[in-house]
Chain A
C-alpha cells in the first residue's frame, strides 16, 4: 500500500502550508523593518505576505475551513519552476534560456562554457511570500552545471548585483586563482566586474558551488549556490577502477571492474545507458525571512511544499495544481537523485524516504555505495551525494519523502513521489 492516502496527503500539505504562511505574516508585521534597517538595506527588500489565495469568501454556505482541502494557493512567479529545475542539467548545449552556454573542443579537451550573472532578485518561497535573494542568473538554486570527468568548465562570471560576489567550486581545482575566494585570484568581484573561472571537471561526482564573499553565511543563505554534476568517464574507470570504490587495486577482479564500468555508463549523460535512468537534482535549502539568523522556511528546491499534492475532492481523487504536484515517477524506471545541502544556520539537513530504502553514494565520487540499504541520510552544508531508488515492487501511489528534522518537514521540506 502507498504510504499516504491521497486526500490525507492533500490535507497535510494544505494544513502545513497555511500554518507556514500565517507564521510568516506575523514575522513580516513585527520585525521586518527593524531588522532590515539594521542590515543597512534601506527597508526596501521585498518580503511581502499577501496571505492565502483561497480565502473565506470562496466558501459556500455551511462550509468551514476544515473542509477546505487542497492548495492554499498556487505560485505565480514565472521565473522559476521547481518541477522544471529537477531535470535541468546544463551541459553546454543550451538547456536553459537564462544560461548562455556553449560546448566545444579546445586543445584536445571538451570545454563546457557558461555565462553566469549575479543579480539581486526576488524568489517565491511560498504562495505570496517573496524572498529578497541574491542569485546566479536570477534563480535559486543556481543553474545546475553538468560535465564529464576531464572536461574544462569555463564560467564567464559577471556581477551585476549590488554586493561583491565570487563563485567558489567544490571540485579538485589545481589553480589557486580559480578558487573563487576573496583572498586569491581576482578576489571578490564588485558591481559591474567580470572574471572567467576555469575548472577541470574532477573528480566524478555530485558537487556544489557557492559564493565565497563575506559574510559567508549571508551570501549563501541569500541564494548564491548550485550543483555541479561530473559524470565519470567509463574509459578512465576501466583504467583506474580503484579510484571509484573502496577496494585496493590488488582486490579489483575483472567482474568488479566490469560492474564499475557499467555503473559509470549509467552515470554518464553521453552514454545511452544513462537514458534509462530518471535523474533529478534536489538542493535542500532554507530561508531566513526576517533576518534574525534562523530559518522560517525550508524546502527541496526553494519552494515550500512544491512537491506536495495540488487539489483533491477529499474522497481520494486528486489533481495536480499548476505549480504544486508530487514528482511523478515510473515505478519500473531506476530513479537517481543528485542531492546537495545548502541550508544555512542549521547544522544539518536530511533526506528520508517512506516505505523505501536506498543506496547512497556520498559526494557521488564512488561507483559502489558508501551506505547501502538506508532510508535516511544526513548532510552538513555543502555535503552532497547520489541516491539510487528502486520502486519496481511498490504499489502505485504516493510515497512521502522529507527532511527528518520534523521541524524542517513541517516548515516546507515535505514532498511526495507518485509512483505510476
Chain B
C-alpha cells in the first residue's frame, strides 16, 4: 500500500501456499477485504480484522483498519483469482487482485 490510496502492486501472482503480507506505508487507515463473490468457491474468506464475511467487514469498518505501519497476512492455498478492496476507498479505485497458480 503506498501513494495513500492504492495497493502496490495492484495485481500479484503467487504460487499456492504463499503467504502474502500487506504493509500500510501510507498516512491513512486502510483495510484488506476480500470480495466474497470474487474469490474461488473453495477458498476461505479473508479480511483484515479477521471477519468471516464481507458483510461483517463492511458493518465494522474500523475493526478492519490497518493504521500506518500495521501489517496483515494471509496464506493462499487454493488456486484461482482473488479480488479484494479497501472498504473506505473503494470508489477511489483502491482494489487489488491476487492470482494463485
Contacts and interface: CB of A to CB of B under 8 A. Distances in A.
B91 A133 contact: yes
B28 A191 contact: yes
B58 A120 contact: no
Given A117-B88, A120-B88, A162 B59 contact: no
Interface size of A as a range = 20 to 34
Contacts of B82: none
Interface in A63-107: 76, 78-79, 97-98
Given A97-B59, A138-B58, A160 B91 contact: no
Interface stretch (A9-17, A40-48, A338-346): A40-48
A120 B91 contact: yes
B90 A160 contact: no
Given A98-B58, A160-B61, A121 B90 contact: yes
A118 B4 CA distance: 17
Q: Which of A42, A43, A158, A191 is the most central at the interface, judged by chain B CB atoms within 10 Å of its CB? A: A191
A119 interface: yes
B28 A192 contact: yes
Chain A contact surface mostly? loop
A161 B61 CA distance: 12
B61 A117 contact: yes
Contacts of A76: 37
Contacts of A119: 61, 87-90
A46 B85 CA distance: 12
Interface size of B as a range = 20 to 34
A43 B5 CA distance: 13
A98 B59 contact: yes
Contacts of A98: 58-59
Contact of B90 (A46, A97, A118, A191): A46
Nearest to A163: B92
A245 B90 CA distance: 47
A349 interface: no
Contacts of B93: 41-46
Given A78-B55, A97-B59, A98-B58, A120 B90 contact: yes
A162 B58 contact: no
A134 interface: yes
Nearest to B86: A120
A365 interface: no
Interface of A: 41-46, 76, 78-79, 97-98, 117-122, 132-134, 138, 158, 160-162, 191-192
